[in-house]
Structure 1
Amino acid sequence: MDTYTLLPLILAFLWTFLYFLNHNSKKSTTSPRLPPGPPPIPIIGNLHQLSTTPYRTMADFSRTYGPLISLKLGTITTVVVSSANAAREMFQKHDLAVSTRHVTSAVRAADGHDRYSMVWMPVNAKWRLLRKISTVQLFSIQRLNAGQSLRHAKVVEMAEYVNKCCESGEVVDVGKVAFTTQLNLLSNTFFSMDMASHSSKDSGEFKELVWKIVEEIGKPNLADIFPVLGFVSKLFVNRELIGIGNKFNEERLSSEGRGNGDVLDTLIKIMKEEGSELSLDDIRHLLMDFFTAGTDTTTDTMEWAMTELIRNPEKMAKAQDELERALGKDTKSIQESDISKLPYLQAVVKEALRIHPPAVFLVPRKADSDIELCGYLVPKNAQVFVNLWAISYDPNTWENPDKFLPERFLDQDMDAKGQDYGFIPFGAGRRACPGMTLAYRMLNLMLGTLIHGFNWKLEDGLTPEKLDMSEKFGVSIQKAQPLKLIPI
């Protein structure tokens, strides 16, 4: 073939090549692209860059790449939201598009928990039914107000136990005391009975069981990273995820005819109504959700709040002075009606929720379609994390974010109801935690009672400066070493 024959072919090829190059260049400048992030490597993606505290690692990435980053966790494209502004745009513009959960293999392996759990199932008719039942039967203002006497009674029992320890000089495990109080509040709400006592080992064993569950759900699993290995999860998943349901379901659900008027009676009554879509499995898994989420996060926040007050004695003194001024020296019992008169106590609780968020990541979501967020593409089926820890420590939102400063909440009217996106410890949007109001009331009641009725010191002559602050990561962040104090 001579030069004259080849030349037109070469020119045609070059024209075609330049046309597509120009076309793709224009397309790439007008279409959103994936958020920036550290470059992945084949097969494992960015897994090798994550530490045992992935929330901190991802927060570090956001300082380099911006408030919206993308990672490759094995084969899973993951987008991480790390700022209040990015969270605001996601919840206000795309809440429905990212309302589906990215279900972990541990949850799937737990007797199909994702098919029945309000936390994990998609936003569908069954989810709306369970959400409505939860709102009306448990967390409506009328229900919450009606339960004030029960909450007060459980907090008084806690104070009586601590007082016995005070008289005998015994050490108090703050996390265990808070857990037992919250556990018995929930069990009486559902079953009209206590499930544990402060002086027995059973609450400690149950607390450990709940921690194993949230740790199992929170830690990476091969099947989550490489879905083709889903069968491995079913072989190795912690079976306590299934056993917890039997811990309190069979015996209590069989006593349905008691007529105590508690929540379980109401749920069974709804289930038996003609045409009801509520099943016994729905009730079992609903109880699993409430007992795990309702005890673990409240307990962890209480323990961290007391830890911060012990480490910051001037903050403890300020909170105690406020309680004494508002309630008097001789009144040790706190009522819920007193909380509105205790702005500094409320600020302490809020700051504890900020600096030690009850869940470092919101429950993972999945994009149901391609969406544009902060100018970037979040592709369909991508996993979406909201890094609450990063948002809570963002210096663009919080001055001196590493310091425990309850006073910051006295200067600004922020609540935890999901409207202030720099402070969303219970989530936001349609999938926000329905029990946030109950948790907030109990945290104020328990903390106020412990610091108003008693002074506290560390055991074995330990000083506040030497207090162990190491963390244990699951869904929430637990103190690695339990906080043990002596009441005086």
Structure 2
Amino acid sequence: MSLFLCFLCLLPLILIFLNIFKSSKWKLPPGPKTLPIIGNLHQRRELHPRHRRNLSDKYGPVVLLQYGFVPVVVISSKEAAEEVLKIHDLECCSRPETAGTRAAFYNFKDVGFAPYGEEWRVMRKLSVVELFSLKKLQSFRSIREEENDLCVKKLSEFATRRSPVNLEKTLFTLIGNIVCRIGFGINLYECDFVDEDRIVDLVHKSDEVIGDSLFSDFFPGRIGRLIDRISGQNKRLNNLFSELDTFFQNILDHHLKPGRERSYIIDVMIDMMKKQEKDGDAFKFTTDHLKGMISDIFLAGVGASAATAVWAMTELIRNPKVMKKVQDEIRTTLGDKKERITEEDLNQLHYFKLMVREVFRLHPSAPLLLPRETLSHVKIQGYDIPAKTQIIINAYAIARDPKLWENPDEFNPDRFLDSSIDYKGLNFELIPFGSGRRICPGMTMGIMLVELALLNLLYFFDWGLREMDEANKIVTGNEDVLNFVQVLHH
């Protein structure tokens, strides 16, 4: 009897499996051999950016993998990426649904991970026109400059004592407080429910929730969800997310307090919710939309920007000749007697901007971009890609392709001296923010945060590793994290 029940439970999976692997007249992309039921799940590690050449070298720039019952196409060339992001942008512009992204973005009530449709278009328009337009961002210039001034003041105390500084924590605190003040109306130094020490931890928890894979992500349906519950995966995900949800709810509750600092982004959305209630609009903003947008801003605004700035300082300390060239330009152009840096100073610098471009090339904050999902059948590089296929674009591999870049793994801003290649979505060999209709709407804000932070660090201080013991160096973790370094007044 028990064997019969097991067979009944597995029957839908078996039927789906047979349907997926039946012979097809389509010309599907090449890929590694699959195992029954699990497909290529055992080879997921090969997709990691560090192993970027394993698949493309063997199978080409368009590779088909089968993760359980989910077909996944990996794109690893400039030409294939352009077909996906430009020529077939509309057909490839949706997002796959996973348990982690569903939780982190409140059933996809956000911009980044929402499936393509009317709701996404409304949220995208809100973010582009009302939240992240250049005019709106410029209105908060004083907050960005003020927080950088405070960071310089704190680092000066370390420099005076010739003490080491945890630069990762410094940058996450700096960028975290700018984003929290502009976006959420909270100051980390005064807030009673979150402080600077917890920002890095919350960002990492966000990454973990989004990246967490459940059985149901690869074997959809009731059986997959049942196994998630039985195995405890669902409970683990909920426990991870509960801390983030508490943080986001505290942000909303903070807005009920009298005399609070005005939050531009949340207040704009709340005002729009009230207006819609009054006008009787068909589309209704909800609390989940607010939390979904908060989650987007927190993860991309804080996590991605701070990680990029950390990588920039890591590469500069690894490459002192490049750092000297950048600092010489900054200090010669701006003079050595400035008391504070402003965003106008950024417009005077050329090589500094090339250095930032090189950082985005080597270390995109989302090495595989955000996954896409096809809305209909398309052809990419002559291969048939069916509807409901996940597409992963390996921006990391493309930006280090030896066919496109000389000495691709070398940190060398000089490569852009006579190049018009930029990172804003029009040159497909360099797409750290994506491209097309799903390009990151907060790109301009992220660039502002990274550039101003780096300019302050490089203008006011000289940097180097401590010369004491083995622990005082650039430590290697998942992504090579810059830890304790020496900071001195220049």
Q: What is the TM-score normalised by the length of structure 2? A: 0.86
Which amino acid is 1:223 matched to?
S
Deviation at 1:321, TM superposition (A): 0.1
Q: What is the TM-score normalised by the length of structure 1? A: 0.86
Distance of 1:253 and 1:33 partners within structure 2: 55
1:117-132 equivalences under 5 Å are 117-132=110-125
* Residues 295-336 of structure 1, C-alpha deviations (whole Å, 9 max, x = no match): 111111111110110010000100000001110111252221
Verify the 8 A CA contact 2:205 2:244 in the aligned structure 1: no
Deviation at 1:89, TM superposition (A): 1.0
Q: Tell me the equivalent position of 1:137.
A: 130
Distance of 2:175 and 2:440 partners within structure 1: 17
Distance of 1:91 and 1:290 partners within structure 2: 23
Which amino acid is 1:363 matched to?
L
Verify the 8 A CA contact 1:360 1:389 in the aligned structure 2: yes
Q: Secondary structure at the match of 1:459?
A: coil
Deviation at 1:467, TM superposition (A): 3.5
Verify the 8 A CA contact 2:311 2:359 in the aligned structure 1: yes
Q: Tell me the equivalent position of 1:459.
A: 466
1:43-442 equivalences under 5 Å are 43-51=37-45, 54-110=48-104, 113-196=106-189, 202-227=195-220, 228-231=223-226, 232=228, 233-237=233-237, 239-247=239-247, 248-255=250-257, 260=262, 262-273=264-275, 274=278, 275-276=280-281, 277-442=284-449
Deviation at 1:279, TM superposition (A): 1.9
Cα distance 1:272–1:201, how it changes in 2: closer, same or farther (>3 A)? Answer: closer
Which amino acid is 1:178 matched to?
L
Verify the 8 A CA contact 2:351 2:413 in the aligned structure 1: yes
Distance of 2:199 and 2:473 partners within structure 1: 29
* Residues 369-404 of structure 1, C-alpha deviations (whole Å, 9 max, x = no match): 211111001111111101111111111221111100
Distance of 2:286 and 2:449 partners within structure 1: 30
Which amino acid is 1:73 matched to?
Y
Cα distance 1:130–1:292, how it changes in 2: closer, same or farther (>3 A)? Answer: same
Which amino acid is 1:336 matched to?
E
Which amino acid is 1:391 matched to?
I
Verify the 8 A CA contact 1:105 1:230 in the aligned structure 2: no
Q: Tell me the equivalent position of 1:42.
A: 36
Verify the 8 A CA contact 2:466 2:472 in the aligned structure 1: no
Q: Tell me the equivalent position of 1:9.
A: none
Distance of 1:197 and 1:311 partners within structure 2: 36
Deviation at 1:197, TM superposition (A): 7.6
Deviation at 1:51, TM superposition (A): 2.6
Deviation at 1:184, TM superposition (A): 1.1
Root-mean-square deviation (Å):
2.6
* Residues 385-443 of structure 1, C-alpha deviations (whole Å, 9 max, x = no match): 01111111111221111100111122212222111111110111111111111111111
Verify the 8 A CA contact 2:100 2:213 in the aligned structure 1: no
Distance of 2:31 and 2:52 partners within structure 1: 10
Larger Rg, first or second structure (1 or 2): 1
Deviation at 1:100, TM superposition (A): 1.2
Distance of 1:306 and 1:58 partners within structure 2: 24
Distance of 1:194 and 1:403 partners within structure 2: 39
Runs (4 or more) in structure 1 with deviation over 4 Å come to: 256-259, 462-466
Distance of 1:54 and 1:249 partners within structure 2: 34
Distance of 2:486 and 2:150 partners within structure 1: 18
Q: Secondary structure at the match of 1:101?
A: coil
Verify the 8 A CA contact 1:183 1:196 in the aligned structure 2: no
Verify the 8 A CA contact 1:256 1:265 in the aligned structure 2: no
* Residues 28-68 of structure 1, C-alpha deviations (whole Å, 9 max, x = no match): 8xx64111112122222223233386223353211121111
* Residues 353-377 of structure 1, C-alpha deviations (whole Å, 9 max, x = no match): 1111101111111112211111001
Distance of 2:335 and 2:106 partners within structure 1: 49
Which amino acid is 2:159 matched to?
C
Distance of 1:298 and 1:253 partners within structure 2: 25
Q: Secondary structure at the match of 1:100?
A: coil
